[in-house]
Structure 1
Amino acid sequence: MDKNQLLSKLWEQYAEITPSAKKIHTLLEEKGETIQNDHIAIRTFNDKRVNINVLEKIFLSVGYEARGEYVFESKKLFAKHYEHTTDKDAPRIFISELELEKCSESLQNTVKKLLDDCDPNEFTNPELALNSTFWKSNSQAIYKSLLEESEYAAWMYIYGFRANHFTISVNALKHFEKLEELNSFLEESGWKLNASGGKIKGTPEQFLEQSSTLADLYTITFDEGSVEIPSCYYEFALRYAMPDGNLYQGFVASSADKIFESTDVKLQK
C-alpha cells in the first residue's frame, strides 16, 4: 500500500461514519475551494500490542517520520506527530495513546481483557491503523463503564483503529483568511462547533489556531440494543509564520486537549 492508498482508505472509513465531513467538503468546494488536509488523527491505547510504536509502522513505511511529542496530563494521553519526508503537501499524522497505567485498575482490566480476547494475529496486521474494532465484546454496559472514567477509552471501544478526525488547512483556502470567517460561514450553514475552551483554540502568538465541529451521532448496535454515539468530527487549522518565516508545523497541547472533547457526549446536549 502506498501513501495515497493509505490516506484514501483512512478518509473512506472516516467519512462512512462522519457524513457531515462530506457535506462540509462539498459546501466548500461549491464555493470554489480546493480542500487540503492539514492533519489526520488516530487514537489508541499504550498497551504494547497496539501502542503508538505499533500503529506508526505503516506511516513510517510510506515516508513519514516522527517530529513532535505531546503530553495531555488531565486526559492521561501521550501523542506524537509525523510529517512526510518528501511530500510537503501530505497531511501530518497525529497519533495519541491512553496511558493505561494512570487509569483505574477497573479500566486497565477492561482494556486488557478486551485485547487478550482478540486473535493475536490482529496485532501483527500491517494495516492495524485501518482495522476498526476487531474485539469480540459489544456491550453497552462496558461502554458506559469506560465512559464514566474516560471518554477517550469509551470512543476507542466503539470505533477502534481509524481516523478520529481529518483537518482542513485554512491556509489553503482562498475565501477565508481568518478562522473566525470560516467558523461564521459554517455556523450560518447550520453546523455546530465545539465551544469547549472557546470556539477557537490557540492564538497567533502560539502560531496555530484550531476549531472543530461537534462529532456526528452514529447508531451503534450493542447486544443490549441500538444507541447513538458521537463518532468523528471535522477540524479546521490555521497556521502562522514563525520568526524565521516558516509556517509552524507542530501542535499546541493545550488547544488539542480541548479539540479532543469534540467527541464528548456531554457537548452534544
Structure 2
Amino acid sequence: MTEAVGVEVRDRVAILTLSREHAGNAIDQEMADGLLEAAQTCETDERVRAVLLTGQGRSFCVGGDVKAFAAAGSGAPELVRKLTGSLHAAMALLARMDKPLVTAVNGAAAGAGFGLAILGDVALAARSAKFAMAYGAIGLTPDAGATWLLPRLVGFRMAQELALTGTRIDATEAERIGLITRAVDDESLLVEARSLATKLAHSPRRAFAHTRALLHQSSSNDFETQLALEAAGIAYAIGQPEGQEGISAFVARRPPDFTQV
C-alpha cells in the first residue's frame, strides 16, 4: 500500500486519508493507484462495513498534480489517461460497493478533489473548507465524476455556473445549495465523520447497498420502473438475514444487531 493514501480500519470503518500534505494532497499517479488499491481493499475486506475519506493537513485535495502535468510536456495526455484510469476506477468502486461512503472535507477541494469531496453518501465539510471546479482556469475539462454528480446535487443551472465560471464557494454556501450534506465546525469534523461512519457500519449493509443503487438509478428510470425495482428489492430484503433480524428486533423491542448477519 502506498504512503500517498493512508488506510486504517477502526470499529468496522476504513478511514482513507489522502496523504500528500506538502502538495495539498494533489493527485499524482501514486495517489491515484493508491486510492484504487485502497478501494479494492475496502470492497473485499469483510471487517469493513463503511468507508470514510478525508485529507491530511490543511487541504482535502486540490485536484490533479498540475506540476506533474507541466513536467510531462507532450506526454501529458498519456499521463492523464493513465491517472484518470486509476482514479475513476477507484471512484466507481467507492460509489458502487456495498458499503456506504462518508467524505470529511477538511479544507480546499478543487478539480478532481471537488469530485471526490461530493462523492460521499454523506458529505461533511469543515466550515473553513472551500470548493471550486477550477478546470477552466487552466484550460481543462472536468473529471472525477463532477459532471455526473454536480447536476444531480445542485441542479443543471447551478452546475453550469460552477463548472463554467470556476466560482469558489465556502462550506456554508455548499450546504445551502445541496452540494454537501452539512458544514460543521473545523475541530468537530473528524469526530462527527467518524461517529457517522461508525453508525453506518453497524447498519444493514446489504439493504443500504441496494438503497444506494436505487438512488443512483432513479434519475434515469421512469416512475413505474423505479416502483418495480423497489418492490423487487424490498421483497428480497425481507427474506434475508438482515430483514429478519430487523423485524425480530422491532417486535421484541430490542436494538437490532446487523453486524452478525
Tell me which interval the TM-score lies in, with the shorter structure as reference length.
under 0.3
Higher-RCO chain (CA-CA 8 Å, sequence separation at least 6)? 1
Q: Choose between structure 1 and 2: higher strand proportion.
A: 1
TM (norm. structure 2) is: 0.26
**Rg larger in 1 or in 2?**
2
